[in-house]
């Protein structure tokens, strides 16, 4: 990992050498910066290139911030509204003999073994969301991937990981990371995020070609992006 300073900001970047003749700078969806440089390129030369493109790099990183999850803080108390697959459910918390979470009669029912504690309710809900996300995301991902038949990349691995600043990200090689929080949105919103990240396997950066490709695969992607932001805001 290398670093340059741009104003008051540090820009960290990784360097990979290849047989290409020119140096390429890529800003990935997770905000990471990758440099693909010709063999024998010296680090000082790479640093000068990064400094020259620093303004563009920071601009790209700021662009990704629009995907920040904006779900408000929850108190995990009965009567609170929580979401699952685009629908709203009233939280009902009670004590019982075992810890469990169930959807029942339009309510999201959480049973705590013994004393009801906010941290326990939060933990049980997080586990429940994660388990459902694991199954649902993989199913939606398979369907999303089938829409990229004309493009040459393998079905990426789906990794679920909580991220404070992202709905999803991809390494543009073989993996997509998706935030389990998005299980609260509708299936179409989840599909949009997965298709967005899969598009990065075709076009790395958010340029004109990227959005042309995204629109070709999912013509109404803006509708689902807006619904995602509205639903979880």
Same domain, 182 and 225: yes
Same domain membership, residue 118 and residue 55 = no
pLDDT over 90 (residue 5): no
8 in any annotated domain = yes
Q: Using the structure block, give the residue that is written with the tokens 């010709």.
A: 38
Q: How confident is the model at residue 66 (pLDDT cuts 50, 70, 90)?
A: low
Same domain for 109 and 57: no
- Residue 65 confidence class, pLDDT cut points 50, 70, 90: low
Could you read off the pLDDT of 70-85 as tens digits, one per residue?
Answer: 555 788 999 999 999 9
Judgement on whether residues 117 and 31 belong to the same structural domain of the protein: no
Domain end call among 67, 96, 112: 67
Is residue 75 in some structural domain?
no
Same domain, 62 and 131: no
Q: CA 91 to CA 80: how far, in whole Å? A: 5
Alpha-helical regions (H) of the chain:
43-52, 54-64, 118-145, 187-199, 208-217, 221-231
Q: In whole angstroms, how far apart are CA 63 and each of 57, 59, 60, 127, 210?
A: 10, 6, 5, 31, 14
Indicate if 24 and 108 belong to the same structural domain.
no
Distance CA 35, CA 22 (A): 11
Domain boundary among 67, 102, 123: 67
Tens digits of residue pLDDT in 131-177: 999 999 999 999 999 999 999 999 999 999 887 667 888 887 889 99
Residues 193, 92: one domain? yes
pTM over 0.75: no
Measure CA of the first residue to CA of the last residue in the chain; give whole Å. 35
The total domain count for the chain is: 2
- Residue 7's domain comprises 2-67
Residue 173 lies in a domain: yes
Same domain, 183 and 213: yes
- Please report whether residue 73 resides in a domain: no
Among the listed residues 138, 182, 136, 181, the one whose alpha carbon sits nearest the alpha carbon of residue 157: 138
Whether residues 86 and 147 share a domain: the answer is: yes
Same domain, 24 and 95: no
Percent of the chain with pLDDT over 90: 62
At 231 the pLDDT is 57
């Amino acid at each position: 990992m290398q670093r340059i300073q741009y104003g008051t900001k540090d820009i960290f970047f990784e360097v990979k050498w290849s047989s290409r003749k020119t140096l390429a700078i890529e800003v990935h969806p997770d905000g990471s910066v990758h440099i693909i440089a010709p063999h024998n390129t010296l680090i000082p030369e790479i640093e000068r290139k990064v400094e020259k493109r620093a303004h563009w790099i920071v601009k790209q990183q700021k662009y990704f911030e629009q995907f920040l999850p904006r779900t408000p803080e929850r108190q995990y108390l009965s009567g609170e509204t929580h979401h699952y697959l685009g629908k709203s459910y009233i939280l009902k918390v009670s004590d019982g003999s075992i810890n469990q979470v169930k959807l029942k009669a339009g309510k999201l029912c959480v049973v705590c073994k013994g004393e009801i504690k906010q941290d326990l309710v939060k933990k049980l809900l997080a586990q429940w969301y994660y388990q459902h996300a694991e199954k649902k995301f993989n199913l939606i991902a398979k369907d999303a991937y089938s829409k990229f038949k004309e493009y040459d990349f393998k079905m990426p691995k789906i990794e679920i990981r909580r991220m404070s600043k992202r709905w999803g990200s991809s390494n543009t090689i073989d993996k997509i990371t998706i935030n389990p929080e998005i299980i609260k949105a509708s299936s179409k919103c989840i599909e949009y995020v997965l298709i967005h990240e899969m598009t990065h396997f075709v076009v790395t950066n958010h340029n004109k070609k990227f959005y042309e490709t995204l629109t070709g695969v999912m013509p109404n992607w803006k509708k689902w992006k807006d619904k995602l932001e509205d639903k979880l805001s």
